[in-house]
Amino acid sequence: MAAVTDQVDVPRAPAMRKTPKGTFDIVFRNASFGSALLVLVLLAGIMASMIIGGWPAFREMGLGFITSSIWDTQNDQYGAWPAIVGTLTTAFLALLIGVPLSLGIAVFLTQLAPPWFKQPVSTAIELLAAVPSIIYGMWGLFVFVPLFAAYVQQPVSRVVEGMPIVGTILYAASPSGLGILSAGIILAFMIIPFIASIVRDMLDQIPSVLRESAYGIGATTWEVVRHVLVPQAGVSIIGACMLGLGRALGETMAVTFVVGNANRLSSSIMDPGSTIASRIANEFNEAIGLQLNALIALGCILFFVTFVVLVIARILVSRVKAF
Amino acid sequence: MRKIILVAAATFGLAGFAQAADITGAGATFPFPIYAKWAEAYKKETGIGLNYQSIGSGGGIRQIKSKTVDFGASDMPLKGEDLEKDGLLQFPAVMGALVPAINIAGIEARQLKFTGPILSAIYQGEIKKWNDPKLTALNPGLKLPDANITVVYRSDGSGTTFVWTDYLSRVSPEWKSKIGANTSVQFPVGVGGKGNEGVSASVKQIANSIGYVEYAYAKQNKLSYGLIENRDGKFPMPDDSSFQAAAANANWNEAPGFGIILNNQPGAEAWPITSATFILMHKKAEKPEQSKAALAFFDWAFKNGDKLATDLEYVPMPANVKDQIRASWKGIVDASSKPIF
């Protein structure tokens, strides 16, 4: 922090430098300030246009826009509830599957992996983060979904049929492989690289003296991870998860391919559903009139949810950067 | 800095020149393959290219209304009053047909028979299994499995969905009152696939599924498909002759802008789910030479494009309808109210 302030003070100190370089400095400063301002203007512009575009739908439907489950383009009745639930459920499932795996990867890479193995795995994880989401979608639809239908959905449905609770949550009426759970699993694959690499960096930042002291008093690897590393990096791990959640909430193409795209609410996570992003991707091309407003209003809701999640993530991550 | 501006100006200038010569269009995805094929052949003959963006019928209607393209394309015909309101002229360009694609082990293409009410009941989730008494009664020779039917539909808004749901509305009053016909509707059961590719992929992968796709897609993807009882109680084979039979008896002047839907037409030979796809242009041409170029393109396509269309499983417009369409083009005028074509 100190170094940054020093740099800012430098041009001010010698007053005699009134060469053309001074004008360049002013131009440069204004230009960079303008670039920074542009981001804020863009954000405000996007927010304003979403609210204006979605306003007719909010006005027409009122609170019912959020609570209603009817999405009827015939009679111009729009309710976002199934899409909101689908978005939250898929993102939650993605975290449920993705977070433990990511933590495992990060702990393994920083604490356990032999050096010759560490580098290739780290690179592979970064490469995974760079795979375009449409590739995950195609792979999901053509490779994952048929296998999931044959080896998970159908056997599980046969076992749980008729049971209380699990018979509802895990029973697939038509075992097609497409559904909320499939979308959650694909999303988990997509957020693992993000969470794993952030957590790995966080664990690397922890002063090694802490770890060594713990080993010194006879702690096992598990005890070091559980009682030293996790408490030290705790809040930033939550922040990393929130960043992953932000991605999972807004992911569009991959989810559209595997979620089944049904505009209905189902009590089973094996059944097809839809998310806000997939609904917009599906209908935006052909939407006219109030349907278009309703889709923009959906975008507005997603924008709001993602914004809140990211703000929380920022606060949590920055708090730990202090040490 | 000046250099950058010069380069930018030169780039934009060049882009401007290149676009001036080409015809621009946007809209329906269903006729995209044939428009692309026609455009390729037309460019070879005349040097004039067509830049067609298959962004969907709704997008095509939006773009022609905002005048960003020379023509818009839609699978769903606009109503007379809408055409009037926006000063648009509408005409059909080419026709196509839908088939119910199926994936049932041991059942080949053209073996399984459906009726309109049975398809409607399947898509409403009332017929749940392939060995439902209604299906077995209609198909006495076939061994239908005791398996749940997985219904597949288009999840994106699409002219294909409009044609399919319009057909179901015509054959089932229940469908008409509960669900209706539109480019996207609230299907009570099933899974949605994005695009024709999405539906074909889902039907191919999900055992015991049924979906609706253009005949061309079913053929290209080697999907199995069923036959449908037509209005005269016959089960015609889906091919050129049955598609053309559907168009032959239609009264094209029934709606403004030839805006009729060819579903469930009379005729023993007529395939029951057939439809035309439409072109939209402004009656008052703001860029007369561009509109003229677009009309010249469709005139050429009507004259020389039939073979290319049938090769891709599309159905060319009947000759007498083509003449009526050409006559309707007199309605497109320039600033001095003179017909441009």
pLDDT digits 0-9 by tens, B100-112? 999 998 898 888 9
* Token pair 């795996």: residue: A101
Contacts of B205 in chain A (CB under 8 A): 142, 145-146, 149, 177
Render pLDDT for A163-204 as a digit per residue (tens, 0 to 9): 888 777 788 777 788 899 999 999 999 999 999 998 888 888
Is a pLDDT exceeding 60 seen at residue A320? Answer: no
Of A141, A262, A283, the CB nearest to B157: A283
Is a pLDDT exceeding 70 seen at residue A7? Answer: no
Nearest in space to A245 (alpha carbons), one of A185, A309, A302, A303: A309
| Alpha-carbon distances, residue B4 vs B1, B11, B15, B18, B293 (angstroms) | 5, 10, 16, 21, 35
- Cβ separation B202–A288 shorter than 8 A: no
The residues, any chain, with a CB within 8 Å of residue A219's CB and separated by 6 or more, are: A227, A228
Q: Where in chain B does DSSP place strands (E)?
A: 23-27, 50-53, 71-74, 88-103, 113-114, 150-154, 191-193, 209-214, 224-225, 227-228, 274-282
Contacts of A256 in chain B (CB under 8 A): 155, 194
Measured CB to CB, residues of chain B less than 8 Å from chain A are 55-59, 61-62, 148-151, 155-158, 179-180, 182-194, 198, 201-202, 205-206, 209
Contacts of B56 in chain A (CB under 8 A): 285-286
How far is B73 from A285, CA to CA, in rounded Å?
13
Residue A271: closest C-alpha in chain B: B191
| Alpha-carbon distances, residue A247 vs A14, A129, A243, B121 (angstroms) | 48, 11, 7, 40
Render pLDDT for B246-287 as a digit per residue (tens, 0 to 9): 888 788 888 888 888 889 988 888 999 998 999 999 998 888
Of B149, B189, B205, the CB nearest to A146: B205
What integer pLDDT is reported at residue B20 of this predicted model?
A: 46
- Cβ separation B191–A72 shorter than 8 A: no
- Cβ separation A174–B190 shorter than 8 A: yes
Say what percent of chain A tops pLDDT 90.
Answer: 29
On whether the CB atoms of residues A140 and A254 are closer than 8 A, the answer is yes
What integer pLDDT is reported at residue A164 of this predicted model?
A: 80
- Taking all residues of chain A, what is their mean pLDDT, rounded to a whole number? 85
Contacts of B201 in chain A (CB under 8 A): 141-142
Cβ atoms < 10 Å from Cβ of B210 = 25
Render pLDDT for B19-41 as a digit per residue (tens, 0 to 9): 446 899 998 888 888 999 999 99
Of A141, A174, A288, the CB nearest to B58: A288
Q: What pTM was estimated for this model as a whole? A: 0.78
Looking at the DSSP assignment, which residues form a beta bridge with residue B99? B213
What is the least distance, in Å, from the CA of A97 to any CA of chain B?
24
Is a pLDDT exceeding 50 seen at residue B6? Answer: no
Of B156, B189, B192, the CB nearest to A285: B156
- Taking all residues of chain B, what is their mean pLDDT, rounded to a whole number? 87
Name the burial class of residue A154, with classes exposed (0-12), middle (13-18) and buried (19+) by CB atoms within 10 angstroms of its CB: middle
What integer pLDDT is reported at residue A9 of this predicted model?
A: 52
- Cβ separation B157–A260 shorter than 8 A: no
Of A72, A178, A272, the CB nearest to B186: A72
Say what percent of chain B tops pLDDT 90.
Answer: 44
Of A71, A257, A286, the CB nearest to B183: A286
The residues, any chain, with a CB within 8 Å of residue A267's CB and separated by 6 or more, are: A168, A169
- Cβ separation B58–A285 shorter than 8 A: yes
What integer pLDDT is reported at residue B1 of this predicted model?
A: 44
Residue A177: closest C-alpha in chain B: B206
What integer pLDDT is reported at residue A21 of this predicted model?
A: 67
| Alpha-carbon distances, residue A142 vs A136, A256, B201 (angstroms) | 10, 13, 8
CA B327 to chain CA centroid, Å, is 23
Measured CB to CB, residues of chain A less than 8 Å from chain B are 70-74, 141-142, 145-146, 149, 173-174, 176-178, 256-257, 260-264, 272, 274, 278, 281-283, 285-288
| Alpha-carbon distances, residue B238 vs B5, B81, B162, B189 (angstroms) | 58, 34, 20, 27
How far is A176 from B151, CA to CA, in rounded Å?
10
| Alpha-carbon distances, residue B317 vs A20, A304, B247, B298 (angstroms) | 73, 50, 8, 12
Element (DSSP H or E) covering residue A71: strand A71-72
How many beta-carbon contacts under 8 Å exist across A and B?
96
